[in-house]
Amino acid sequence: MAIYDTFKTRSAQALPKLTAAEIKRVQRFGNLVCYRDGERLYEVGSSSFGMFVVLKGAIRISRYDGLGNTSIITEHGVGEFAGEISQLAGAPSLVNGDAVGDVEVLALTTESLRALLIAEAELGERIARAFILRRVEQLNSHDGGVVLVATPGHARMHALQGWLSSNGLPHRVLDPRSDEQARALVERFQPEANDWPLAVCPDGGVKKNPSVVDLGRCLGTLPELTPDHIWDVIVVGAGPAGLATAVYAASEGLSVLVLETRAYGGQAAASARIENYLGFPTGISGAALAGRAFVQSQKFGVKMAIPAPAGRLLCDTYPVQVEMCGSLTRLQGRTVVLSCGARYRRPSLANLKQFEGKGVYYWASPLEAGLCHSQEVILVGGGNSAGQAAVYLSGHAAKVHILIRKDSLASTMSSYLIERIAATPNIELHVESEIVALEGCDEEGLQQVRVRDNRSGVEKDYDICRVFLFIGADPNTGWLDDCGVQVDDKGFILTGYDIPGAPASGRGGLETSVPGVFAIGDVRARSTKRVAAAVGEGAAVVSQIHGFLANRASAN
């Protein structure tokens, strides 16, 4: 039985069958290719393709991981097509595809698949929806992708799993104490204490104590970027603002590269539910909104590199150059859009870093929520993100303690969230309170939290091992010093008329003090810190980019 059958109401959307008329419309985008019975069309971890539409025979789709496990997922018959989100991104396949009988297919490259999705809107929508649902099933069943091997609670596992989950990448976790294959892998590679965890890539390669860069390389989220290519737009940061710029710019024919440090969606992706975003009356999670925007960007041909932190911006030449962090690689852009957002603030606690990822967290995704089952947790912060996280965690934790330094939430949180928190029985608000100490050990992680009531000065110890910090963020602008982009006294980037002493004539409202470099979203001074505002700026900056490029072309 196909794994998609577990979602019967969606199986028809995940495995649609094209009519003869629809296949005829696809023909102009693909080439006829024939395969013999048993011949492999594409292979896990090494083959990149766009889409195969079956005209004769069938394609057997099978899951496979680097440990050698394989099993049949489904067979695509005549009129059906093979592919999922990896193909839109030009990344290696996460499944194998083999010919059943003599097979004829229409083979589409990644570029021709994108052209099809744009030219044939209704048909393209059905194909994209099928791709998305197939990836969702891979995530739900933990099929394909990376296999992580470590004992439960290992300090590095949370960071790796968090990165994979945030980027919508399927993966599996094996415990060598209970899984025979994991135990055999450990016996083969004999990892030392600093070699854990082990990661098995889809192609079978094994990495010891991998970084997220290592995982990005083996999964195709971090492609090779050549310094000689000149992009029309380099977007630094894939939050809502950056994704909006990428989608609008690419849809208007500009070549776009997006560099993201951690995961698409930025801090907004950590929001459990956004209820005031136009068009979603029942709300939408930040992760779902970001996921849709990511797929949209791939449809229009945006090149996304994750994790790819920018290290320096160099503006003394044109095109502008972005030097990658930890590398001498310099990427060239005719324009650069800074949507690099902010960095999470950290309270002044002596041993905070010791417990990050081992009891202290800066977002509340399903991964963290799963750790809180039937436990009491502490959440610090009084903004909307904190409120959304508290309500979300209350559905998993036994109790959520909210700590704020002010005497109420009224000045920092939307009224609908304040009302919801008040109506949730297992949320307790502690006003004028703060954490003053964290206790625990490297092996067990966080075990106890000391809280001070600033009104009475009384300190109380809580046997709590999960703390969530939502205390705001500082602008991520330190890496811009070599370029001379002007910032305000808090480090936010000045644009347009806000730039002191600079002539505004000919300058876009979102353009920085450096011509051709723009700033949008939370990193921009005087911006409205809302998802909708960020998306609006991301769209608006594209017209200013066109204006800059046109003026430069006419000047030359």
Classify residue 531: in a domain, yes or no. yes
Peptide bond into 307 cis (omega under 30): yes
Q: Diameter of the chain by CA atoms?
A: 80
- Let me know if 489 is exposed, middle or buried by CB neighbors in 10 A (0-12, 13-18, 19+): exposed
Give 5's contacts (C-beta < 8 A, 6+ positions apart).
Answer: 11
Q: pTM of the prediction?
A: 0.91
Q: Which residues of 240-274 are buried (b: 16+ CB within 10 A; e: fewer)?
A: bbbbbbbbbbbbeebbbbbbbbbbbbbbbbbbbbb
Classify residue 270: in a domain, yes or no. yes
DSSP class of residue 524 equals B
pLDDT in single tens digits along all 556 residues of the chain: 344 444 445 678 999 999 999 999 999 999 999 999 999 999 998 888 999 999 999 999 998 888 888 889 999 999 999 999 999 999 999 999 999 999 999 999 999 999 999 999 999 999 999 999 999 988 988 878 899 999 988 889 999 999 999 999 999 999 999 999 999 999 999 999 999 999 999 989 999 999 999 999 999 999 999 999 999 999 999 999 999 999 999 999 999 999 999 999 998 887 878 888 999 999 999 899 999 999 999 999 999 999 999 999 999 999 999 999 988 899 999 999 999 988 888 999 989 999 998 999 998 988 899 999 999 999 999 999 899 999 999 999 999 999 999 999 999 999 999 999 999 999 999 999 999 999 999 888 999 999 999 999 999 999 999 999 999 888 999 999 999 899 999 999 999 989 987 665 667 899 999 999 999 999 999 998 889 999 999 999 999 999 999 999 888 7
- Let me know if 116 is exposed, middle or buried by CB neighbors in 10 A (0-12, 13-18, 19+): buried
Q: How many domains does the chain divide into?
A: 4
Q: Which two tokens stand for residue 347?
A: 């309270």
Verify that 308 and 198 share a domain, yes or no: no
Verify that 151 and 135 share a domain, yes or no: no
Q: Which CATH number belongs to the domain containing residue 35 in this structure?
A: 2.60.120.10
Classify residue 434: in a domain, yes or no. yes
Element (H, E) at 403: strand 399-403
Alpha carbon separation from 520 to 39, 266, 274, 526 (Å, rounded) = 50, 13, 20, 10
Verify that 309 and 209 share a domain, yes or no: no
Residues belonging to the chain: 556
pLDDT at 6: 45
Classify residue 224: in a domain, yes or no. no
CA distance 420 to 433: 21
Q: Which CATH number belongs to the domain containing residue 171 in this structure?
A: 3.40.30.10
Give 423's contacts (C-beta < 8 A, 6+ positions apart).
Answer: none
Verify that 467 and 497 share a domain, yes or no: no
Say how far residue 433 (Cα) sits from the centre of its chain: 33
Q: Containing domain of residue 188, as a range?
A: 146-219
Verify that 321 and 196 share a domain, yes or no: no
Q: Which runs of consecutive H residues, i.e. helices, occur in 351-476?
A: 352-355, 366-371, 384-394, 415-423
Verify that 478 and 339 share a domain, yes or no: yes
Give 180's contacts (C-beta < 8 A, 6+ positions apart).
Answer: none
Verify that 289 and 396 share a domain, yes or no: no
Q: Which CATH number belongs to the domain containing residue 530 in this structure?
A: 3.50.50.60
Q: Which two tokens stand for residue 35?
A: 């395969």
Please give the full DSSP string across 213-241, using - where no structure is assigned. Answer: HHHHHHHTSS----TT-EEEEEEE--SHH
Classify residue 225: in a domain, yes or no. no
Give 445's contacts (C-beta < 8 A, 6+ positions apart).
Answer: 153, 155, 355, 358, 359, 465
Classify residue 481: in a domain, yes or no. yes
Classify residue 514: in a domain, yes or no. yes
Classify residue 1: in a domain, yes or no. no
Verify that 134 and 151 share a domain, yes or no: no
From the list 139, 85, 105, the residue with the least C-alpha distance to 34 is 105
Provide the β-strand partners of residue 278. none
Give 1's contacts (C-beta < 8 A, 6+ positions apart).
Answer: none
Q: Which two tokens stand for residue 44?
A: 């896990």
CA distance 133 to 528: 34
Boundary (domain end) residue, out of 102, 126, 141: 141
